[in-house]
A = this chain, B = another copy of it.
Amino acid sequence: MPLTDPDRLFPTEPRLRDLARALYEPVADLPIISPHGHCDPRWFAENARFPNPAELFVVPDHYVFRMLISQGVPPTDLGIPRADGGATETDPRKIWRRFAAHYHLFRGTPSAMWLDHSFEHVFGLDEVLSADTADAYYDHIDAKLAEDAFRPRALFDRFGIEALATTESALDDLRWHKMIRDSDWPGRVITTYRPDAVVDPEFEGFAENLDRLGELTGEDCTTWEGYLNAHRARRAIFKEMGATASDHGHPTARTEDLAPADAKALFATVRRGRCTAEEADAFRGQMLTEMARMSLEDGLTLQIHAGSHRNHSAQMFARHGRDKGFDIPRRTDWVGGLKPLLSAVGLEPGLTIIPFTLDESTYGRELAPLAGAYPALRLGPPWWFFDSFEGIRRFREATTETAGFYNTAGFNDDTRAFCSIPARHDVARRSDCAYLAQLVATGRLREADAHEVAHDLTYRLAKDAYKL
């Protein structure tokens, strides 16, 4: 018996289900555009085999292991590295068995959907993962991973990926991207300019990061002008490695548009290393506007991921470091936050700014009205912990009536779990078609138009918004 239902996520009422299926079929196998995510470019550069099932599915994915932690499983039982370098589980089979024994925790979650999809469609498994089947699963997946057909480039091709963007720090040497570019493999894996480490005065090692930025570019990063030029130089290098976008992870949506002298003075303050939290926040906000201005020059699309309270648990951060599943969303004020940036460049039709929110209450109230007015804005898809049917439904229901479809930016998978990519895009395609079927059946959209919209949501809007 298959792990996944061929009609999953479609409406249950027969007429609606038929409509959804009819809309889905022509888009089901369209190429995948993945314009934002966190895959490791090294996979595609070296094309080495993935080490084992635990390191493919559990250890690197904080959305998987945090569910076990939330039910009392110690992080070290799952092989999470310790900040003090102390002992953690190293036997991947033991980690896998613990994961399997707790698999019921994922019932009803998008993680269960994409894991089952990968188990079935990538690895050909057809039994449910559990403590009983843990070893059989491990052996089966491990054997597959040894085959050439399961190396990163082979899977990339099999998944039908037309373009995949990874995300690198502004200080990254982009060596893996160079290796991919210089190889004979035609897969399109591109980078994205993510300068948080040199834009956020509260980032660990900010001062040293700026020194390093100066070394990399030959610019004088002790001056505001030099610092901005260093960004320009790095953006140009990233563009050479295929980048069509920058990305910015900020705690709030605040932007600033200070007079040049004030911006210069603020830079001097944060450069000195003793700024207040307020000054740090203002500086991040100013830099979003500076980045938007650079986008007007070099054409990079500007992505803003705002509103995550990172590393919420002080204990977890002390024991295991950053990005361990304790990023928690907060309320986000997009209307007040983006006003300085939008007043500066929001009417520029040549600019594309894509906001991503974790605060769903802003979809209908703030983001759809903003995107439905400003030419520079295209709404990002529902940034959330998983690729979620309900999340996509709420996004469409809350934004379409105000902003329409054409002020949105298509789908992002935003994943570091490579095997989940086909599953996530499939969820988005099915969820969108389910929504469109509902519109058609209730007289809100003509069926012929719905087919065109389905294609646009799946393929064209992402290509346009990211210039891919």
Contacts and interface: CB of A to CB of B under 8 A. Distances in A.
A405 B108 contact: yes
Contact of A366 (B329, B343, B366, B370): B329
Interface stretch (A191-199, A217-225, A333-341): A333-341
Interface string A303-321: 0000001001111100000
Interface string A7-40: 1111111011000000000000000000000000
A9 B405 contact: no
A91 to B, nearest CB: 22
A391 interface: yes
A439 interface: yes
Given A71-B375, A107-B453, A347-B315, A13 B10 contact: no
Contact of A9 (B4, B8, B69, B444): B444
Interface stretch (A263-271, A394-402, A411-419): A394-402
Contact of A443 (B9, B335, B385): B9
Interface stretch (A80-88, A93-101, A158-166, A355-363): A355-363
A9 B335 contact: no
A397 B390 CA distance: 7
A70 B371 contact: yes
B15 A15 contact: no
A92 interface: no
Nearest to A358: B365
Contact of A343 (B313, B346, B347): B313
Contacts of A333: 330-331
A428 interface: no
Contact of A12 (B13, B69, B109): B13
Contacts of A452: 104
A12 B316 CA distance: 46
A123 interface: no
A389 interface: yes
Nearest to A66: B373
A342 interface: yes
A282 interface: no
A249 interface: no
Contacts of A13: 12-13
Contacts of A11: 442
Given A16-B12, A364-B360, A335 B343 contact: no
Contacts of A365: 329-331, 358-361
A442 B342 contact: no
Nearest to A437: B12
A51 interface: no
A407 B12 contact: no
A101 B453 CA distance: 16
Given A12-B441, A365-B359, A343 B314 contact: yes
Contact of A406 (B71, B335, B401, B449): B71
A118 to B, nearest CB: 15
Interface string A62-82: 000011011110000000000
A105 interface: yes
Contacts of A106: 404
Interface of A: 4-5, 7-13, 15-16, 66-67, 69-72, 104-110, 112-113, 128, 309, 312-316, 325-331, 333, 335-336, 339, 342-343, 346-347, 349, 358-361, 364-366, 369-375, 377, 384-386, 388-391, 397-398, 400-407, 438-439, 441-446, 449, 452-453
12 contacts: A9-B443, A70-B372, A70-B373, A71-B406, A104-B406, A107-B453, A108-B401, A108-B453, A312-B370, A313-B347, A331-B331, A372-B385
Given A12-B438, A108-B404, 5 more contacts: A70-B374, A107-B404, A329-B366, A384-B402, A389-B401
Give the top 3 A-B pairs by smallest Cβ distance, nearest first.
Answer: A8-B443, A5-B443, A72-B349
